[in-house]
Amino acid sequence: MKKKIRDHVDSDIDNIIKIYTLEYKAMPEEVETLRSAPKILVYDDHSGVEGFIHLSTNGNHCYIEMGVISNEKIMSIGSELWKEALGYFDENKISSIQVFHVKENPMWQHFFDDLGFEYWYSVYRLDYQGPKFPERKIRVVQYEDRYYDDKMRLESEAFSVLRRENNIKPYNWYLAASEENIVANRKATLLNKDFIYLFFEDDEMIGASMVKSSEIELLFTNIKYQRKGYGKKILEYSVNRGLEQNSDRVSLNVLAGNEKALKLYMDTGFKLVQGQDCRKLIRALK
C-alpha cells in the first residue's frame, strides 16, 4: 500500500502553496521562502497533496508551518503529518517547536492544544491601501555595511522591552548573539541593502526601516528619539517606498501587545487583515 506521508518534490510546490494560502494571507516573501524550503512533508492520499508540514530547523529549535486542504481534515491529516514529524524531531534532537496559525480558525487552536502547545503571543497583519504621503523633511541614507553595528545596536535596544514583555528571548538580540550569528546576520543585511533605509538627525541615527515586496519588514525608532513624531515620519516614508513597489497595497506585521505601534499604524490608515497566534512546545529529548 502506498505510504501517505512522504518528502515533497518540486512538482508538489504549487499545491503546497495553494493549501498554504487557502486561509492564510501570506506575504510574497513568505511564499518564496516556502517555495524554496528544503524540508516539507506532504500527505498524499493517492489523489494528490492534501496537507503539508514545513520543518525549518535551527539548532535544537524547529519552526513549523502546517496546512490542510479543509477544516474537516485538520485533525485527521494533521495528526498523520505530526506523527511522521515526531521521527524527524527525535532524529534531529529538537527540544523546542514554534508554530503560527490563523487566529480566527479554532480548529487549528484545538489541534495544537491537543498536542500540548502553549499559547505564546499574537501577531496582526495590517494593510495600507491609499495614496502616497507628502514627503517629509527627513535625512535618509541607503544602508551600507559600515552602519551595521549602529543599526543593530539601536534596533535591538528599541525592541528589547517589547521582547521582554512577550518573553521572546534573547531580549536584546545584538548583545546576546554569537559571533557566528552576527556574521550571518551581517551578510543577510547587506544582501538586502537596496531595501533598507536609515534615518538621521544630524549625524545620529534615529531609526531604520526595510521595505521589500511592498512589505515593511522592519521599522524602529531610536529609543532616544521616541515620542517625538519620528516614528510617523519613518512610517510614511516607508509606505511611500512600498507603494512604489506595488501601487495596490503595503503590508506589515505587528505584535498584538505593541499597542503604541498598532495605534500609529491604524491612525496612519492601515487596516486589520488577519490575526495569528504563536504557540510553542518544549519537548524532552530521548
The three grid cell numbers given for residue 140, joined into one nine-digit string? 535618509
Amino acid occupying residue 244: E
Strand-by-strand arrangement of the 96-102 sheet: 5-7, 40-44, 49-58, 61-68, 96-102, 271-282, 118-128, 250-255, 215-221, 204-212, 196-201, 139-142
Between strands 40-44 and 49-58, the pairing is antiparallel
Grid cell in block for residue 97: 517547536
Q: Where in the chain is the domain with CATH 3.40.630.30?
A: 5-123+277-282, 139-248
Query: Percent of the chain having pLDDT more than 70?
Result: 99
Band (284; pLDDT cuts 50, 70, 90): confident
CB atoms within 10 A of CB 150: 14
Give 191-201 pLDDT, tens digit per residue.
Answer: 999 999 999 99
- pTM here? 0.91
For 139-248, CATH gives: 3.40.630.30
| pLDDT value of residue 1 | 45
In 3-state terms, what secondary structure has residue 163? helix
CATH top-level class of 5-123+277-282: alpha beta
How far apart are alpha carbons 20 and 24 in whole angstroms? Answer: 7
Q: Provide mean pLDDT across the span 13-31.
A: 94
